[in-house]
Amino acid sequence: ILGSNLASDTSQLLALKRMLNFNVPHVKNNTGEPVWKVLIFDRFGQDIISPLLSVKELRDMGITLHLLLHSDRDPIPDVPAVYFVMPTEENIDRMCQQYIKLYFLVFILFICVSVEPDVAFSVFDQYLNFITLEDDMFVLCNQNKELVSYRAINRPDITDTEMETIMDTIVDSLFCFFVTLGAVPIIRCSRGTAAEMVAVKLDKKLRENLRDARNSLFTGDTLGAGQFSFQRPLLVLVDRNIDLATPLHHTWTYQALVHDVLDFHLNRVNLEESSGVENSPAGARPKRKNKKSYDLTAVDKFWQKHKGSPFPEVAESVQQELESYRAQEDEVKRLKSIMGLEGEDEGAISMLSDNTAKLTSAVSSLPELLEKKRLIDLHTNVATAVLEHIKTRKLDVYFEYEEKIMSKTTLDKSLLDMISDPDAGTPEDKMRLFLIYYISAQQAPSEADLEQYKKALTDAGCNLTPLQYIKQWKAFAKMASAPTSYGNTATKPMGLLSRVMNTGSQFVMEGVKNLVLKQQNLPVTRILDSLMEMKSNPVSTAIVFVVGGGNYIEYQNLVDYIKGKQGKHVLYGCSELFNATQFIKQLSLLGQK
């Protein structure tokens, strides 16, 4: 049934493994070893593969070496090469230079539909032009993402030709997604938006492919074809302009916070290790900060369990895991000590006999223990870096205040005081807060009030160009009743626990509120809910795709929503994935026009 197979990462992973085995099912040769080969990709191919396959997994599939297409290398005789690249003229020219000289067999696997080069052993179009980040989340190409960005779509001076190109790029990638999934969707969209343009073009492309039954990518021996014959999934195409507040919102869940405040990109977080204070001679160069990278993927059980949890819960869980690890480590040390007992008295021999089995069990679990320690260290470092941002910028205060604005709850502090507080947040934090207020307000503030706010923002060091764009956007969209509000004015305030977290913990949470999250459906989730709950045509499986960019806040909101819907499944996709800093830069550029 469709629901049980609806996993973006599984479908794309199977397609990648088949591709890396020369487009045949993965089998080892007579010696039990895979066929050894070299993998060459461009940046697009690298972005698609890296979130799904580790270096070890590539090696298990016979990839002895993986290289970028435009890097220089020596010839590798008697080794087949697999090229996984976009079908551009530049790439084809580069391949022609290489495979004549460097390899004896060449398999060219184009990420999307192509024109075949003149010389090659095998050429295949793979229809893999999208990036899977989670089993229920995908994003379009990461390279040249500015070409399909929110700014690109909403530029006031955009020409019809430029808009057509952007829409075609998005449609081609979505088509690849559904070919890989093996499903033909039922399409729903908001009218009069870029999402509708995507819907019309995608519908046409799907119909044209299905019209030729013999060559259709959704029938016959295509990957995934036939899996989804019981029920077609619903594709909900949403325009970013229906909700501009959520991408600016300060968040409180682990994954969304990591993406908001750290360098988190394609499931990898990059941290700068703060160098300790050292006694160095006068005039010596300061010690360089070490950079560390961590992969946060499905293999990481702690991440899978806690990525959607409120941050204080994550800090508490890391501490609990650390204490559990120390207890296990102490037990191994104790058993080792007992095993080293001297003397042959009956008590010692009896104790030795009783503990031999325990020690054997403890030693056999050492690899698991070491992996546990690695994950604890990883999340201690990541959570500590996040906590530093929360405390220095008072992000808990911003999150709580914005939640009240968006749910129309009475504010306990004036917005002007929040903006003017020199100890709370960066200029960008203050601008995000004010934009959320401006977008969510059913009536725009008076000119006198607006001037007062603008002065306070300017005094706080804020760049006002994003506000210029939001004013134009709101006037154009006639947002008298903002669709970005969470509910009606009767919404109860969120419950708060002001208690300090366990101060014995490695994470001193003093001054950071332990906010109790109240499940509020965001606009994107509300749209999905209304479509999935239609009595005339109930839907069990849906893909929500945001044209103009998405974020982890919306993704997590959909994940939380679907938990309460038994037998229903949802995937979240977007044309680009941005955090608030990246989004506000786009608004700023639009405001300069």
Res. 589: pLDDT tops 90: yes
Q: Is residue 403 a contact partner of residue 494, using CB atoms and an 8 Å limit?
A: yes
Sorting pLDDT into bands at 50, 70 and 90, what band is 71? Answer: confident
Condensed to tens digits (0 to 9), the pLDDT of residues 224-250 reads 444 444 578 999 999 999 999 999 999
Query: How high is the mean pLDDT of the chain?
Result: 80
Looking at the predicted structure, is the pLDDT value of residue 110 above 90? Answer: no
Residue written as tokens 């995000």?
432
Q: Are residues 145 and 69 in the same domain?
A: no
Domain end position, chosen among 128, 160, 176: 128
| C-alpha to C-alpha distance for 351 and 147, rounded to whole angstroms | 70
The larger pLDDT score, comparing residue 229 to residue 216, is at 216
Give the rounded percent of residues in the chain with a pLDDT score beyond 70.
74
Residues 136, 116 share a domain = no
Asked if 322 contacts 377 with a C-beta cutoff of 8 angstroms, the reply is no
Domain boundary among 73, 96, 128: 128
In sequence order, the β-bridge partners of residue 293 are 270
| Residue 63 and residue 140 share a domain | no
Is residue 161 one of the residues assigned to a domain? yes
Q: Is residue 143 part of a domain?
A: yes
User: 334 near 362, Cβ under 8 Å?
Assistant: no
- Any idea which of 129-133, 298-302, 341-345 has the lowest mean pLDDT? 341-345
Residue 253 is classified by DSSP as B
The answer to which of 95-99, 152-156, 455-459, 476-480 has the lowest mean pLDDT is: 476-480
Is the domain of 161 the same as that of 103? no
| Calpha distance 320→587 (Å, rounded) | 42
The pLDDT of residue 51 is 86
Lowest mean pLDDT among 117-121, 332-336, 576-580: 117-121
Q: Does one domain contain both 117 and 138?
A: no
Determine the structural domain holding residue 174 and report its residue range.
Answer: 132-243+524-591
65 shares a domain with 29: yes
In a domain, 345, yes or no: no
| Count of the separate structural domains present in the chain | 2
**39 and 112 belong to one structural domain:** yes
Residue 121 lies inside a defined structural domain of this protein: yes
**CB-side neighbour CA atoms (13 Å) of 409:** 15
Cα angle: 52, vertex 55, 60; to 5 degrees: 95
From the list 590, 521, 527, the residue with the least C-alpha distance to 246 is 521
Which segments of 212-310 does DSSP mark as H helices, in order? 254-261, 301-306
Q: In terms of domains, do 102 and 179 share one?
A: no
Same structural domain, 51 and 108: yes
> HSE-up of 258 (CA within 13 Å, CB side)?
28
Task: Specify the long-range contacts of residues 501-509, CB closer than 8 Å, at least 24 apart.
Answer: 501/312, 501/315, 501/316, 502/316, 502/319, 505/315, 505/316, 505/319, 506/318, 506/319, 506/322, 506/380, 506/384, 507/315, 507/316, 507/318, 507/319, 507/383, 507/384, 507/387, 509/312, 509/315, 509/387
Examine residue 255 and state whether it is found in any structural domain, yes or no.
no
Instruction: Compute CA 193 distance to the chain's CA centroid, rounded to the nearest angstrom.
Output: 25
The reported pTM is 0.81
Phi, psi (5° rounding) for residue 170? -65, -45
In a domain, 61, yes or no: yes
| Confidence band, pLDDT 50/70/90 cuts, at residue 32 | low
Considering the domain architecture, whether residues 112 and 6 belong to the same structural domain is answered as yes
pLDDT digits (tens, 9 = 90+) for 497-515: 222 233 334 455 565 666 6
In a domain, 124, yes or no: yes
Is position 413 within any domain?
Answer: no
Residue type, 96: C
Residue found under tokens 């969470």: 486
Question: Looking at this protein, which amino acid is placed at residue 193?
Answer: T
| Residue 92 reports pLDDT greater than 70 | yes
Same domain, 107 and 199: no
- Reported as half-sphere exposure (CB side, CA atoms, 13 A), residue 73 has a value of 22
Distance CA 248, CA 578 (A): 10
Q: Is the pLDDT of residue 123 over 70?
A: no
Output the pLDDT for position 124: 60
Confidence of residue 333 (pLDDT cuts 50, 70, 90): confident
Rounded Cα gap, residues 371 and 67, in angstroms: 29
Cβ atoms < 10 Å from Cβ of 15: 24
The rounded radius of gyration (Å) of the Cα atoms in the chain is 27
The domain boundary residue, chosen from 128, 153, 179: 128
Distance CA 376, CA 503 (A): 19
| Contacting residues for 175 by C-beta, under 8 A, at least 6 apart | 127, 202, 205, 206, 209
Amino acid letter at 268?
R
Provide the total of helices (H) and of strands (E) in the chain, helices listed first.
21, 16
Looking at residue 92, which CATH number applies to its domain?
3.40.50.2060
Closest CA to 150 of 576, 486, 482: 576
Q: What is the CATH number of the domain that holds 184?
A: 3.40.50.1910
CA 261/CA 570 separation, integer angstroms: 27
Residues 101 and 192 in one domain: no
Q: What is the pLDDT of residue 349?
A: 44
368: number of Cβ within 10 Å: 10
Residue 453's Cβ-side half-sphere holds a number of Cα atoms within 13 Å equal to 19
Given a cut of 90, whether residue 312 has pLDDT beyond it is yes
Cβ-contact 566, 536 below 8 angstroms: no
What does the pLDDT look like over 138-166, one tens digit per residue? 998 767 778 899 999 999 999 999 999 99
